[in-house]
């Protein structure tokens, strides 16, 4: 696994970046779709997830595989613009239905009852940056705080081989994620999810690539989450 760098990056995080009113609304909508992942009743480290769809009283969350270790309970804390920085809703009993170690991806099926949670749509096939550097944005829970938005600059699509032989495609970013941002989404200019925060290494950030996400979902029967 690509390890997180062991230092605290001094970055100023605001809930949303200064922008036009419509852009601010879009940023708040993205934050509302990104729960903070906690350790439930037994505590534990915090991370981030993003809801990419709701169906039949379940929400489907993308996150990093290392953010939802096997056998450890997780709580998913959702925030609203009105409740921020307080938690508006906490949900539990999520089931990891897809787990891929190489791209560090997991899909969680989370019961939400008759009240759905906000959704950040997953970009479709081919809907991704093709020229670099490319502007993007990331949402995460830096150092375990409530979710925050920050601008990102993508450097390239990189094929990364992990120690032990596994390999996958990642977006390499100029910004370095800090602890708590694992599992948070990388968003394009239209607010669509194009990656999931996986790691930091060598002064760069790594986000699981959209192609890896599509492959994981399609191979496990969840391609309806990005189909037109």
| pLDDT tens profile 101-148 | 999 999 999 999 999 999 999 999 988 899 999 999 999 999 999 999
Nearest alpha carbon to residue 137 among 81, 194, 85: 194
Average pLDDT over the chain, rounded to whole? 89
Does 227 fall in a domain?
no
Does 225 fall in a domain?
no
List of E strands, 71-209: 75-78, 89-91, 95-100, 105-111, 134-140, 148-161, 167-173, 185-187, 193-201, 204-209
174-220 residue pLDDT tens: 999 999 999 999 999 999 999 999 999 999 999 999 999 999 999 99
Domain count of the fold of the chain: 2
Residues 45 and 112 in one domain: yes
Contact (Cβ atoms closer than 8 angstroms) between residue 33 and residue 51: yes
Q: Is the pLDDT of residue 41 over 80?
A: no
Range of the domain at 86: 21-119
| pLDDT for the residue 172 | 97
CA distance 49 to 64: 8
Does 169 fall in a domain?
yes
pTM of structure: 0.91
Residues 78 and 104 in one domain: yes
């Amino acid at each position: 696994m690509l390890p997180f760098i062991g230092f605290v990056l001094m970055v100023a995080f605001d809930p949303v970046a200064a922008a036009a009113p419509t852009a601010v609304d879009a940023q708040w909508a993205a934050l509302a779709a990104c729960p903070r992942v906690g350790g439930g009743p037994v505590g534990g480290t915090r991370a981030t997830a993003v809801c990419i769809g709701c169906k039949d009283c379940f929400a489907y969350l993308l996150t990093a595989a290392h953010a939802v270790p096997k056998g450890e309970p997780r709580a998913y804390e959702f925030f609203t613009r009105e409740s921020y920085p307080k938690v508006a809703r906490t949900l539990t009993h999520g089931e990891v239905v897809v787990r891929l170690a190489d791209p560090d991806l997991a899909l969680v099926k989370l019961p939400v009852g008759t009240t759905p949670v906000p959704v950040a749509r997953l970009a479709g096939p081919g809907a991704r940056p093709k020229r670099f550097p490319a502007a993007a944005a990331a949402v995460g829970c830096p150092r375990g705080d409530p979710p925050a938005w920050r601008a990102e600059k993508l450097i390239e699509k990189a094929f990364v081989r992990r120690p032990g032989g596994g390999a996958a495609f990642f977006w390499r970013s100029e910004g370095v994620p800090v602890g708590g941002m694992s599992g948070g989404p990388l968003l394009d200019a239209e607010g669509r999810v194009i990656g999931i925060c996986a790691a930091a290494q060598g002064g760069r950030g790594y986000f699981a690539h959209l192609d890896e996400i599509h492959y994981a979902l399609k191979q496990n029967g969840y391609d309806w989450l990005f189909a037109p």
